Amino acid sequence: MAKKWGTVLRSWMTKNMELPQDVMMDLPRITMIGQIHIYIENHRGLLSFSDKEIRLLLKQGQLLVKGKAFVIKTIMPEEIMLEGKIDQVTYLPD
């Protein structure tokens, strides 16, 4: 019951206080620059990485990025910047 009220409260605060949804709802923020850079904030960790694929853990589910020639430019506990040719970004539910 407490979890439901927390979600209701966050939704109300986001709507009425004009706060960004990604901040209040604990969602990832994904910024892409063309097809060559992707910056992902608010993830829960790196699950796998290769030069063709990266998989990140989210609060709910996973994020899968596919492409070619991937290089991690920056990695911090909740942020990552990836460079390469990005072909696909997919959300994978739990």
The DSSP result for 2-52, as a single string, is HHHHHHHHHHHHHHHHT--HHHHTT--EEEEETTTEEEEES--EEEEE-SS
The pLDDT, as a whole number, for residue 14 is: 63
Q: Which residues share a beta bridge with 86?
A: 67
Model pLDDT, residue 43 = 94
CATH number of the domain that 71 lies in? 2.60.40.2000
Q: Do residues 51 and 86 touch, judged by C-beta distance below 8 A? A: no
Q: Is the pTM of this model over 0.85?
A: no
**Within a domain: residue 19?**
no
Q: Is 86 contained in some domain?
A: yes
User: What's the CA gap between 21 and 11, in Å, rounded?
Assistant: 8
Q: What is the pLDDT of residue 26?
A: 74
Per-residue pLDDT averaged across 39-66, rounded? 96
Over residues 68-84, mean pLDDT: 96
pLDDT recorded at residue 24: 53
33 in a domain, yes or no? yes
Q: Within a domain: residue 37?
A: yes
pLDDT of 19 higher than 80: no
CA distance 48 to 64: 9
Per-residue confidence (pLDDT) for residue 1, from 0 to 100: 53
Per the model's pLDDT, the better-predicted residue between 27 and 57 turns out to be 57
Which pair of tokens denotes residue 14?
């986001």
How many domains are there within the chain?
1
